[in-house]
Structure 1
Amino acid sequence: MTSYDAIADWYETTLVPSWQADPLEFGPMLRDLLGPGTGACLELGCGTGAHAERIRQLGRTPLGVDVSAGMLRHAAARLPVVRGDAVALPIATGALPAVVAIMVHTDMPAYPAVLREAARVLAPGGVFAHIGVHPCFCGGFADRTDGRAVVIRPGYREPGWTMESWTDQGLRDKVGATHRPLPALLGAVLEAGLVFERFAEGGAPTPTVFAWRARKPYAERPHR
Structure 2
Amino acid sequence: MTRADDPEGAELQRSSAEHVLGTVGVSKRTVGTVESRSANRLWWDADADDYQAEHGSFLGVSDFVWCPERLREEQAGLLGDVRGRRVLEVGCGAAACARWLADQGAWPVGLDISTGMLRHAAEGGRRSGTVVPLVQASADCLPFAADSFDLACSAFGGIPFVADVGAAFREVARVVRPGGRWVFAVTHPMRWIFPDDPGPTGLTVTQSYFDRSPYVEIDGTGRATYVEHHRTLGDYVRALAEAGWRLDDLVEPEWPEGHTDTWGQWGPLRGRYFPGTAIFACSLDG
Specify whether residues 32 and 98 from structure 1 end up closer, same or farther in structure 2 by C-alpha distance, changes over 3 A only: same
1:91 aligned partner: 144
2:86 aligned partner: 40
Greater helix content: 2
1:67 aligned partner: 113
C-alpha distance in structure 1 between counterparts of 2:81 and 2:121, whole Å: 22
Q: TM-score, normalised by structure 1?
A: 0.82
Deviation at 1:29, TM superposition (A): 7.9
1:11 aligned to which of 48, 51, 56: 51
Tell me, yes or no, if structure 1 residue 130 matches structure 2 residue 184: yes
Deviation at 1:19, TM superposition (A): 3.5
Say which SS state the counterpart of residue 76 (structure 1) adopts.
helix
Identity of aligned residues (%): 28
Task: Spell out, residue by residue over 1:125-160, the C-alpha distance to the aligned partner (whole angstroms, 9 max, x if none).
Answer: 0010111111112x3x31252457632322210113
Aligned partner letter, 1:160: S
Q: TM-score, normalised by structure 2?
A: 0.66
Deviation at 1:111, TM superposition (A): 1.8
**Relative contact order (C-alpha < 8 Å, sep 6+): which is higher?**
2
Task: Spell out, residue by residue over 1:172-219, the C-alpha distance to the aligned partner (whole angstroms, 9 max, x if none).
Answer: xx834211111111111111101111221125223211002111111x
C-alpha distance in structure 2 between counterparts of 1:192 and 1:30, whole Å: 29
Summarize the alignment of residues 14-163 of structure 1 with structure 2, pairs less than 5 Å apart. Answer: 14-20=54-60, 23-28=68-73, 31-37=76-82, 38-77=84-123, 78=125, 79-104=132-157, 105-137=159-191, 139=192, 141-146=193-198, 150-163=203-216
1:167 aligned partner: none
C-alpha distance in structure 2 between counterparts of 1:26 and 1:56, whole Å: 19
C-alpha distance in structure 2 between counterparts of 1:28 and 1:51, whole Å: 9
Aligned 8 A contact 1:30 1:55 in 2: no
2:284 aligned partner: 216
Deviation at 1:28, TM superposition (A): 4.2
Specify whether residues 17 and 151 from structure 1 end up closer, same or farther in structure 2 by C-alpha distance, changes over 3 A only: farther
Query: Which moved further from structure 2: 38-47 or 196-205?
Result: 196-205
Gaps of 5+ in 2: 1-40, 126-131, 218-224, 256-270
Specify whether residues 91 and 155 from structure 1 end up closer, same or farther in structure 2 by C-alpha distance, changes over 3 A only: same
Say which SS state the counterpart of residue 188 (structure 1) adopts.
helix
Task: Count residues with an aligned counterpart.
Answer: 207
2:266 aligned partner: none
Gaps of 5+ in 1: 165-173, 219-224
Task: Spell out, residue by residue over 1:28-72, the C-alpha distance to the aligned partner (whole angstroms, 9 max, x if none).
Answer: 487432122222210111112132234335432221111111111
